[in-house]
């Protein structure tokens, strides 16, 4: 008979992160078996949980733990960043260069079905830097100027993506297929407009909501990719180069008002300030597991000095229809995306 696992819990970072540790250093899988529902409850209550002092080794350990806490890991669809799939449902956290920061975002909030939970498994912590950056999206929602929240809550926003050879992810990588008809079918099923502007230049346009209501707590959250995908999130010199070459509608990703007009600089500055004002660093050490409620907490990454190995699993798919209890619909406005000039 397996011995009972004793847990120590302590809220950190103003209560956003619940630290869960055990002096016995049990196997991670046993922790999931005995305390899976308890851990999930702490994640929902706080927004994130950091687990320290548990043993895990292979992919099967990670897969079993995720299943015991929530459900089976999800695939990574409609991709926006380079990742390597290491095992079904287990990916590298990102393959972006270590010298670059990854800005705060909520995972796949631009999809019609979004992952509810994110599991970050730290196999090897970086010798310097590499903190996981978190921000409370509930607090961001409440801190933003009301006129910004109310407009985007009502109208949503427009995401435009361009897939060009040699510039960001290719459409084959993003949609995990070489078949154009399969891309068209996926987009038709997911409220995405498709236009081939050249032989190998695909442009997609999708209207998405900006504010979600948590299905368990009923709390509203600033849940979108509006800032992360906007040209303002790029380094200034790179943004200027891309905009001069391709224009606001031609760069790899950009966001607009739902009517296709550009979002003003003052609005973007307010959004950036809100994220930065609620940003905090969580340092996951070798062997730690960080679990994030994707609906409540945005995540990012600080630059780091290699080596660093961090794996991620996403779990518990949730439809946007469940995050908009009033409208019960996945697309704001109910209409087509507007083409900008």
Is residue 85 situated within a structural domain? yes
| Distance of alpha carbon 247 from alpha carbon 275, whole angstroms | 26
**pLDDT score at 329:** 47
pLDDT at 75 over 70: no
Same domain, 268 and 246: yes
Distances (CA, A) of 287 to 51, 202, 232: 9, 41, 35
Same domain, 295 and 238: no
- The mean-pLDDT minimum among 38-52, 205-219, 267-281, 303-317 falls in 303-317
Percentage of residues in the chain with pLDDT exceeding 90? 76
pLDDT at 69 over 50: yes
Omega before residue 307 within 30° of 0, cis: yes
Section 318-339 average pLDDT: 65
pLDDT at 91 over 90: no
Question: Predicted confidence band at 78 (pLDDT cuts at 50, 70, 90)?
Answer: low
At 295, which CATH number? 3.60.130.10
Same domain, 74 and 167: no
Q: pTM here?
A: 0.92
Same domain, 186 and 330: yes
What's the farthest any 2 CA atoms get from each other in the chain?
A: 68
Is residue 105 situated within a structural domain? no
Which residues are CB-contacts of 77 (< 8 A; sequence separation ≥ 6)?
108, 111, 176
Is residue 225 situated within a structural domain? yes
Is residue 107 situated within a structural domain? no
pLDDT at 89 over 80: no
- The mean-pLDDT minimum among 1-5, 177-181, 188-192, 309-313 falls in 1-5
Same domain, 118 and 210: no
Burial of 189: CB neighbours in 10 Å, binned 0-12, 13-18, 19+: exposed
DSSP β-ladder status, 48-52 and 17-21? parallel
Same domain, 289 and 170: no
Segments in the chain forming alpha helices (H): 28-46, 59-69, 137-143, 146-155, 171-175, 180-189, 236-246, 265-277
**pLDDT score at 240:** 97
Q: Is 117 helix (H, G, I), strand (E, B) or coil?
A: strand
DSSP β-ladder status, 201-208 and 289-293? unpaired
- The mean-pLDDT minimum among 135-139, 196-200, 251-255, 332-336 falls in 332-336
Backbone angles phi, psi at 302, to 5 degrees: -80, 155
pLDDT at 18 over 90: yes
Average pLDDT over the chain, rounded to an integer? 90
pLDDT at 341 over 60: no
Is residue 320 situated within a structural domain? no
Closest CA to 128 of 307, 298, 297: 307
Question: Predicted confidence band at 19 (pLDDT cuts at 50, 70, 90)?
Answer: very high
Same domain, 159 and 121: no
57 CA to centre of own chain: 25
Same domain, 144 and 267: yes
DSSP string, 211-277: EEE-TTT--EEE--STTTTSGGGS-HHHHHHHHHHH-TTTSSEEEEETTSPBPPHHHHHHHHHHHHH
Backbone angles phi, psi at 122, to 5 degrees: -95, 100
The answer to whether the beta carbons of residues 259 and 93 sit under 8 Å apart is no
The answer to whether the beta carbons of residues 136 and 296 sit under 8 Å apart is yes
Section 263-270 average pLDDT: 98
> What is the domain count for the chain?
2
**pLDDT score at 244:** 97
Q: Is 21 helix (H, G, I), strand (E, B) or coil?
A: strand
β-sheet with 309-319: strand ranges across: 8-12, 17-21, 48-52, 289-293, 113-124, 309-319, 90-92, 85-87
Same domain, 184 and 330: yes
Is residue 341 situated within a structural domain? no
Which of the pair, 21 or 338, is modelled with greater confidence?
A: 21
Same domain, 126 and 39: yes
Same domain, 211 and 82: no
Question: Predicted confidence band at 1 (pLDDT cuts at 50, 70, 90)?
Answer: very low
The answer to whether the beta carbons of residues 194 and 184 sit under 8 Å apart is yes
Is residue 19 situated within a structural domain? yes
301 lies in which domain range? Answer: 8-98+114-132+283-315
Q: What share of the chain is helix, strand, coil (3-state, %, to 5)?
A: 30, 30, 40
Is residue 65 situated within a structural domain? yes
Query: How is residue 309 written in tokens?
Result: 């190995």
Which of the pair, 232 or 57, is modelled with greater confidence?
A: 232
| Distance of alpha carbon 111 from alpha carbon 317, whole angstroms | 10
Same domain, 119 and 153: no
């Amino acid at each position: 008979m397996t011995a009972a696992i004793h847990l120590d819990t302590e809220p950190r970072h103003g209560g956003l992160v619940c630290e869960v540790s055990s002096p016995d250093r049990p196997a991670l899988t046993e922790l999931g078996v005995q305390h899976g529902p308890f851990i999930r409850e702490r994640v929902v209550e706080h927004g994130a949980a950091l687990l320290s002092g548990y043993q895990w080794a292979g992919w099967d350990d990670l897969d079993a733990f995720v299943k015991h806490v929530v459900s089976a890991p999800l695939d990574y669809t409609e991709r926006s960043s380079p990742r390597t799939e290491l095992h079904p449902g287990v990916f590298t956290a990102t393959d972006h260069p270590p010298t670059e920061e990854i800005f705060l975002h909520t995972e796949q909030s631009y999809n019609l079905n979004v992952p509810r939970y994110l599991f970050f498994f730290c196999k090897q912590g970086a010798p310097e830097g590499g903190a996981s950056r978190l921000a409370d999206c509930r607090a961001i929602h409440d801190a933003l100027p009301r006129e910004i929240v109310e407009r985007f809550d009502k109208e949503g926003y427009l995401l435009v993506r361009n897939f060009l050879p040699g510039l960001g992810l290719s459409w084959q990588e993003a949609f995990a297929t070489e078949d154009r008809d399969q891309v068209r079918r996926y987009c038709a099923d997911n409220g995405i407009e498709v236009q081939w502007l050249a032989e190998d230049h695909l442009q997609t346009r999708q209207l998405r909501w900006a504010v979600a209501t948590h299905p368990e707590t009923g709390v509203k959250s600033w849940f979108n990719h509006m800032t992360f995908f906007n040209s303002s999130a790029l380094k200034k010199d790179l943004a200027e180069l891309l905009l001069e070459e391709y224009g606001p509608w031609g760069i790899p990703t950009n966001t607009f008002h739902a009517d296709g007009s550009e979002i003003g600089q003052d609005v973007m500055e307010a959004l950036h300030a809100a994220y930065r004002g609620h940003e905090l660093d969580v340092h996951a050490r070798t062997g730690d597991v960080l679990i994030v409620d994707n609906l409540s907490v945005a995540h990012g990454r600080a630059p780091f000095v290699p080596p660093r190995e961090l794996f991620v699993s996403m779990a518990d798919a949730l439809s946007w229809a469940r995050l908009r209890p009033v409208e019960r619909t996945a697309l704001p406005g109910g209409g087509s995306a507007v083409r900008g000039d």
